[in-house]
Amino acid sequence: MSSLSDMLTIILLAPHISSAIFWETAKLWMKGSKVIVLDIPLLFETKMDRWTHPVIVVWVDPQTQIERLMSRDGCSEEQAHNRINAQLALDWKKSEADIVINNSGSLDDTKEQFQEVLRKVSEPLTWKERLRSRDGLFSVVLCTAVGVLLAQKNFL
Ligand SMILES: *[C@@H]1O[C@H](CO)[C@@H](O)[C@H](O)[C@H]1NC(C)=O
C-alpha cells in the first residue's frame, strides 16, 4: 500500500516540484551563480536528470539505509523495505551518477566528501567540457545562427 501511495505522490507532485525548482534556478542563474546545487531526492524518477549536470548520487549501503530510515521515521523494517522499493534502486542510480558520495560512514565523513565535490565542480570548465555541456551546445547553435544571418546580410 505504502509503495502505491508513494508512487502516486511522485506522479502528482512532479510537475509542481519541477516548475518551482525551475524558477528558483532561473533566478539564481540571473544573479550570476556559477554553481547551483539542486537537492532532489527523486531526480531520476521525475526525469529531471536530463537537465542537470553533473549528477551527484549520495549513496549508502542497503543495510545502513534501512537502519537509518527505521530510526528516522520510527517505521518497521517491512515498511522501510516498502518505502525503498518504491524508488529506483540506489545501486542503479549510483551507476548513472557522474559523481558518487559515499554516505555510509559518519556525517563528518560525508560533509568532507561534499566539500571536495563542491571544490571540483566549482573549477572553471575546460573548453571540451564547455562544448559538451548544454550551455556550450546552445552557444554554438546561437553562434552558427548569427553566422548564417550575417552571411545572408552580406549577400543581400
Ligand atoms: C563506504 O564507506 C564505508 C564507511 O566509511 C566503507 O566501509 C565502505 O567500504 C565504503 N564503500 C564504498 C563502496 O566506497
**Same domain flag for 45 and 57:** no
Express each pLDDT in 93-149 by its tens digit: 999 999 999 999 999 999 999 999 988 888 876 666 666 665 555 555 555 556 566
95-118 b/e (C-beta count within 10 Å ≥ 16 → b): eebeebbebeeeeeebeebeeebe
Radius of gyration of the chain (CA): 20
Whether 32 and 3 map to the same domain: the answer is yes
Residue to substitute in 61, 63, 109 for testing ligand 1 pocket (most ligand atoms within 8 angstroms of CB):
61
What total number of domains does the chain contain?
Answer: 3
The model's pTM is 0.67
**Model confidence pLDDT, tens digit, residues 61-90:** 989 999 999 999 999 999 999 988 888 888
Please tell me whether residues 83 and 110 are part of one structural domain: yes
Do 40 and 2 share a structural domain? yes
If you measure from the C-alpha of residue 108 to the centroid of ligand 1, how many angstroms do you get, rounded to a whole number? 14
Q: Quick check: CB of 110 below 6 Å from ligand 1?
A: no
Domain containing 108 equals 53-123
Q: Are residues 145 and 116 in the same domain?
A: no
Compute, in angstroms, the gap from residue 119 CA to the centroid of ligand 1: 21
Verify that 64 and 33 share a domain, yes or no.
no
What spacing in Å lies between the alpha carbon of 144 and ligand 1's midpoint?
A: 47
Amino acid present at 125: L
Q: Cell 542503479, residue?
A: 92
Residues 118 and 132 in one domain: no
Q: Are residues 128 and 71 in the same domain?
A: no
**Statement to judge: residues 132 and 114 lie in one domain:** no
